[in-house]
């Protein structure tokens, strides 16, 4: 189709409008509008025609004008409730952020990174979120942290990574099967001949920490092994925390022959402590992690671990959030994990 170039009176070409897209596609302006707002109630043929017309005309959405009409900002916040240094240390956060950014890009929705590791940061972010973003992807919520409840009470669409403790069915969430993954790993260690299986648990004010410890305890009972408080040390998901926890375990139970660690980053610290103590891995003590993050491959020896499906987690978080922004009810999604065998166990 031949198109003539229109000018805006300054001698420069006029930017294409929604009317140009509709004319190019051979559809109504309303059909184009529905495509731009999510494609609801649009036939596949019309959707293809509009998308092709957008590419041919070079049309781009005037987000400011659309937000005045729809009351939406067309943006989403990635809210991490951890200190800033944790964002740079823990590779899981970067993997999740990248996946969410990619998933939102398919919908032409920008993602804002926000960190609320202190009370002052939380207050500032909460003031900004109301009226400036359409929804929130909440990462690393802790028991007693008011952020999820405040967002819910303010009517802000919200999806948490992991089941928010104490929020019941009020908040949408997407989580890996933390308890199932822990059970698989402890069962594997037992089947490998290990009998004094300790754990460096995650923080017990986080859903992952609670669920992975529950899986550890349940599988000990299933395998006929006694639960021993001396073999359980909570960590903080940091490398230094893992090293400190392993040192304490060796003092409490020198005969430990396996350690299930609730994150790969902590497992790196456990390996450091065992090396300092002269314990060989896996000959003397098997070490197993959780996440299958880049830390698992960087460890020496490489970690046997539980793989979280990060790409699916991020894609599902975005899907559930956009559906909620569109008016759907809160939803809960739990995704399966996978045991990955490497050299440490």
The size of the chain, in residues, is 345
* Strand 258-261 versus strand 197-201 pairing type: parallel
Rounded Cα distance between 305 and 291, Å, is 7
Q: How far apart are CA 68 and CA 81, in angstroms?
A: 30
Torsion angle, alpha carbons of 77, 82, 87, 89, to 10: -170
β-pair partners for 199 = 232, 260
Mean pLDDT (the chain, rounded):
87
| Residue 141: per-residue pLDDT | 72
264 CA to centre of own chain: 16
- What's the rounded Cα separation, in Å, for the pair 163 and 206? 9
Tokens linked to 222: 């299933």
In this structure, are strands 258-261 and 305-307 parallel, antiparallel, or unpaired? unpaired
Per-residue pLDDT, 206: 87
Q: Are 343 and 282 in contact (CB under 8 A)?
A: yes
Q: Band of the pLDDT at 116, cuts 50, 70, 90?
A: confident
Q: What is the mean pLDDT of residues 275-296?
A: 95
Q: Is the pLDDT of residue 89 over 90?
A: no
| Mean pLDDT calculated for residue range 125-141 | 87
pLDDT of 64 higher than 50: no
- Reported as a single tens digit per residue, the pLDDT across 234-277 is 999 999 999 999 999 999 999 999 999 999 999 999 999 999 99
Q: What percent of the chain has pLDDT over 90?
A: 57
Assign 29 a pLDDT band (cuts: 50, 70, 90). confident
Q: CA Rg, the chain, in Å?
A: 25
| C-alpha to C-alpha distance for 139 and 145, rounded to whole angstroms | 12
The confidence band for 17, taking pLDDT boundaries of 50, 70 and 90, is: confident
pTM of the model: 0.75
pLDDT digits over 185-215, tens only?
Answer: 999 999 999 999 999 999 998 889 999 999 9
Mean pLDDT of 22-41: 81
Pairing of strands 305-307, 338-340: antiparallel
Phi/psi for 153 (5° steps) reads -65, -30
Q: What is the 3-state secondary structure (H, E, C) of 294-325?
A: HHHHHCCCCCEEEECCHHHHHHHHHHHHHHHH
């Amino acid at each position: 189709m031949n198109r003539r170039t229109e000018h805006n009176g300054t001698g420069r070409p006029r930017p294409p409008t929604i009317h140009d897209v509709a004319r190019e596609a051979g559809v109504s302006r309303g059909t184009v509008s529905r495509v731009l707002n999510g494609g609801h109630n649009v036939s596949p043929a019309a959707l293809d025609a509009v998308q092709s017309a957008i590419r041919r005309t070079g049309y781009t959405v005037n987000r400011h004008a659309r937000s005045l009409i729809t009351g939406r900002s067309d943006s989403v916040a990635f809210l991490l409730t951890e200190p800033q240094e944790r964002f740079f240390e823990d590779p899981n956060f970067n993997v999740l952020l990248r996946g969410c950014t990619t998933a939102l890009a398919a919908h032409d929705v920008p993602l804002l990174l926000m960190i609320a590791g202190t009370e002052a940061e939380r207050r500032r972010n909460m003031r900004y979120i109301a009226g400036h973003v359409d929804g929130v992807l909440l990462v690393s919520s802790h028991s007693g942290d008011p952020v999820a409840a405040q967002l819910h009470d303010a009517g802000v669409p919200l999806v948490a990574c992991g089941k928010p403790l104490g929020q019941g069915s009020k908040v949408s969430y997407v989580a890996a099967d933390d308890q199932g993954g822990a059970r698989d790993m402890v069962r594997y260690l037992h089947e490998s001949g290990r009998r004094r299986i300790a754990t460096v648990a995650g923080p017990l004010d986080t859903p992952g920490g609670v669920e992975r410890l529950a899986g550890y305890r349940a599988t000990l009972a299933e395998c006929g092994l006694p639960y021993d408080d001396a073999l359980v040390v909570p960590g903080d998901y940091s490398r230094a925390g893992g090293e400190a926890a392993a040192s304490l375990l060796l003092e409490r139970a020198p005969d430990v022959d396996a350690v299930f660690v609730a994150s790969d980053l902590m497992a790196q610290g456990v390996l450091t402590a065992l090396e300092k103590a002269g314990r060989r891995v896996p000959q003397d003590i098997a070490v197993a992690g959780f996440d299958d993050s880049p830390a698992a491959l960087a460890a020496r020896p490489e970690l046997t671990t539980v793989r979280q499906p990060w790409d699916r987690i991020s894609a599902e978080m975005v899907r559930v959030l956009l559906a909620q922004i569109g008016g759907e009810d809160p939803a809960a999604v739990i995704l399966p994990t996978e045991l990955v065998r490497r050299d440490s166990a």
